[in-house]
Structure 1
């Protein structure tokens, strides 16, 4: 792993180095269409030159509107090569969402497929420019023997590059700013943690424009010479067929993707796969999902704990079928190069084994929040990032998460940890998902509410009995709403605020009514 004193690197450097070391090896593949590292380098250089010709500079801000495709890989690397800023947005962002981004960030350059840009143009005037993918990426495929074009002056690796919107530990969404060197250092952690190498084929079922997919998928593959397989739009059957066809050794996916895989009729126990490593991040992995996945596909899932601001923090190989722990499940040991501190409200370190606020310092630490100096100062404390998570370290140095400091529910002056209640709820065999939140009451207090997804008939009376066996009376949800699914981001993370807001708008049954969900 590089040291803090090493010169900062760029994604362009990774591409050119990979082209020199492994020119003929497949760099990226989609449904049998392959680009070698040398050809990828040429396509990125040419695309970067065309983007520069279209007016993209280091002062520009670009938004990519792609699913996981080869075009997305080329466009992302070409933007990085120009030195422009890159905003991560959902590929099917609405005009209103993009306009809100432009209001905050200024004039944006949209880059995407012609049909997607045409749909946006049809919705009204756009305060910026749009560049069709065909204008910069396509054309005659260059032969790998074609002389490389002279590289224009590239950006510095320590310049602001990636704007990733995150709620961080202070609530309101804001743009966390990363450099290209941050991404490379994050990839080094994955290489050292999991042994990525040229013999690996990495399949990513996570959007490349999200931190986990970008670093654990694309950047680590470029760094190590691994072959990256992208899927286009995610579908369980397509993913399973690609895992088998490509001989994939590494899968990068969300808990939602793993759950859908285990429920797919194609996921037979006798499926012949070459997987050695399955990484999961974005949300907590339900123990039942891990158990079913191992039973059907023959490999355990390794959970990764991290955040947008700091990158990968800790990881461990999950034990399939392990029961949820009422005290908080361990998320593993600190990743290579990562430092941890557990502190009290005064910022002083707590004794070993005690709970407190988790501070981290990682090689992939962000620069701060864009145009949010107060929010940045609140979370960056003398080089440490305050995650907002309450945690403890056990005697073996493993990290255990307890909950979010700002999410505890005040029930009659007693604090209820929603994560603890969710773990108990998910311990019921008929519950597959659960979100616990605090409902404000007229007297200024709160009551515990839960929104859950059941896999079969379940009465609220039975769920109440289950909760009362494992929780204190003030922790038991005073209201439960059964739904068919929970809203999620494209990375598979549950949109908790949307769950609470939607439940507040509807009439939900209380847990004492004794009703049933079929």
Structure 2
């Protein structure tokens, strides 16, 4: 069993059955923790208590707009403080949060809004104009009632006359929290790109599955004095969303980047005494090279969770810089199935192996669905507390059979229960490399 088991279970138990409860607990007990949002045009540094207060105001504004429990609220913003407030406010209101990819065209955004029947969108003032034009068209967006425009984002633009200015929502008087949603109710809709044989899809996560992910995702859960985490830029995907929510729910001091630049990231690592990072292997390589050029090294960083596929070369490169890099295995449908540890041997970390996280189970089966012995490669099936509910638009064979999710990937379990993957496609790595 992983060394993460007890801290994860203890933290999960304390957060009850809803991320909104976790948000309130963290604000009360870890309100002094500071979060840094390093943007292109500005830098914001707020305490968890301040952010929670702002989220309660926006949640009250959502209530005044008639946004109710179960309504879909879409958010398309970069990693900045308004994105964090919007995410928290949606969950506090009991709404379904739907982050949208920043790179999407206006047509892709409109398609997602239409299919999900989203009632509200929080986006930059610049992007809000296209959505409002589409909503006002004859065959537009019949369920979209509100478009909230956030000024000050890049590129700059004015708030449309028929949009709602973000600052208006932040001026509402906070109200008592809405009734906690049931664990089996949908909390999150996250869009996944085509990967291997899997087509693009909108994945539904419940309050229970989202909370399980927030409590167990690496680095090791629980608040450790002196730990500061650096999160990569957000793209509206599951990794960006959960890294943001994890900071809000667990009180992990975190530095968020709006855009990736290795030199800027290194400067922030030194300035804020960052101890852990989560990056793709391409970004980690760039960061290590920038640290070598500067002659100042990686400062207090001791570990890196590599997002996506792991190579022995990058793990060894990090090791020479004093950073223990490790990987893991996840799917959008079942996040963080397995994860490595900075305490694993270099050989294990270089192979990308990971131990199953608490509650998760994996079967390795052949083409006939029969379990294969340890060490033999086969198809990966998984189940556990983080497993998704289903897809927004289900087509074809059901994704879960007898409680097991067919991941579409191949791998093997060794005699110690570590999971090794083979041929795992990762769409985000293609984007990073470009």
Q: TM-score, normalised by structure 1?
A: 0.68
Distance 2:223 2:338 in 1: 17
Q: Which residue of 2 aligns with 1:494?
A: 430
Deviation at 1:141, TM superposition (A): 8.6
Change (3 A) 1:209 1:322: same
Distance 1:210 1:368 in 2: 17
Please say if residues 9 and 157 of structure 1, whose CA atoms lie closer than 8 Å, have aligned partners that are also in contact.
Answer: yes
Please say if residues 343 and 358 of structure 1, whose CA atoms lie closer than 8 Å, have aligned partners that are also in contact.
Answer: yes
Q: Does residue 306 of the first structure (1) align with residue 348 of the second (2)?
A: no
Change (3 A) 1:234 1:363: same
1:372 alignment partner, SS class: coil
2:315 alignment partner, SS class: helix
Distance 1:3 1:20 in 2: 15
Number of aligned residue pairs: give it.
402
Q: Which residue of 1 aligns with 2:378?
A: 356
Q: Does residue 132 of the first structure (1) align with residue 161 of the second (2)?
A: no
Q: Which residue of 2 aligns with 1:15?
A: 23
Deviation at 1:353, TM superposition (A): 2.3
Residues 2-58 of structure 1, C-alpha deviation per residue, up to 9 Å, x if partnerless? Answer: 699999622221121112112333255547632222222211111111122223223
Q: Which residue of 1 aligns with 2:154?
A: none
Change (3 A) 1:233 1:212: same
Q: Which residue of 1 aligns with 2:32?
A: 24
Change (3 A) 1:103 1:112: closer
Please say if residues 91 and 187 of structure 2, whose CA atoms lie closer than 8 Å, have aligned partners that are also in contact.
Answer: yes
Structure 2 gap ranges (5+): 1-8, 152-163
Q: Does residue 99 of the first structure (1) align with residue 110 of the second (2)?
A: yes
Distance 1:228 1:94 in 2: 30
Instruction: Give matches, 1:271-350, under 5 Å.
Output: 271=297, 273-281=299-307, 283-295=308-320, 297-317=321-341, 329-350=351-372
Q: Which residue of 1 aligns with 2:418?
A: 398
Counterpart among 244, 257, 261 of residue 235 in structure 1: 261
Change (3 A) 1:101 1:223: closer
Please say if residues 8 and 157 of structure 1, whose CA atoms lie closer than 8 Å, have aligned partners that are also in contact.
Answer: no
Distance 1:177 1:207 in 2: 19
Residues 403-448 of structure 1, C-alpha deviation per residue, up to 9 Å, x if partnerless? Answer: 36xxxxxxxxxxxxxx8xxxxxxxxxxxxxxxxxxxxxxxxxxxxx
Change (3 A) 1:6 1:289: closer
RMSD between superposed Cα atoms in Å: 3.6
Deviation at 1:385, TM superposition (A): 1.2
Please say if residues 177 and 366 of structure 1, whose CA atoms lie closer than 8 Å, have aligned partners that are also in contact.
Answer: yes
Q: Which residue of 2 aligns with 1:437?
A: none
Change (3 A) 1:208 1:75: farther
Q: Does residue 116 of the first structure (1) align with residue 127 of the second (2)?
A: yes
Counterpart among 68, 92, 98 of residue 57 in structure 1: 68
Deviation at 1:285, TM superposition (A): 2.9
2:353 alignment partner, SS class: strand
Distance 1:239 1:3 in 2: 29
Structure 1 gap ranges (5+): 405-418, 420-487, 500-518
2:213 alignment partner, SS class: helix
1:151 alignment partner, SS class: coil
Instruction: Give matches, 1:44-83, under 5 Å.
Output: 44-83=55-94
Distance 2:191 2:203 in 1: 6
Q: Which residue of 1 aligns with 2:251?
A: 225
Please say if residues 73 and 90 of structure 2, whose CA atoms lie closer than 8 Å, have aligned partners that are also in contact.
Answer: yes
Q: Which residue of 2 aligns with 1:414?
A: none
Deviation at 1:246, TM superposition (A): 0.7
Counterpart among 377, 380, 386 of residue 400 in structure 2: 380
Distance 2:288 2:131 in 1: 36
Change (3 A) 1:95 1:271: same
Please say if residues 189 and 337 of structure 1, whose CA atoms lie closer than 8 Å, have aligned partners that are also in contact.
Answer: no
Q: Does residue 370 of the first structure (1) align with residue 392 of the second (2)?
A: yes
Larger Rg: 1
Q: Which residue of 1 aligns with 2:231?
A: 204
Change (3 A) 1:209 1:140: closer
Change (3 A) 1:95 1:389: same
Distance 1:98 1:263 in 2: 36
Deviation at 1:320, TM superposition (A): 10
Deviates most, 61-70 or 345-354:
345-354
Residues 329-388 of structure 1, C-alpha deviation per residue, up to 9 Å, x if partnerless? Answer: 44222122221111223322222222221111122111111231644x2x3121111111
Please say if residues 333 and 387 of structure 2, whose CA atoms lie closer than 8 Å, have aligned partners that are also in contact.
Answer: yes
Q: TM-score, normalised by structure 2?
A: 0.80
Please say if residues 204 and 390 of structure 2, whose CA atoms lie closer than 8 Å, have aligned partners that are also in contact.
Answer: yes
Residues 236-290 of structure 1, C-alpha deviation per residue, up to 9 Å, x if partnerless? Answer: 1221111111111221222232133234377534335212321121x21343333
2:264 alignment partner, SS class: helix
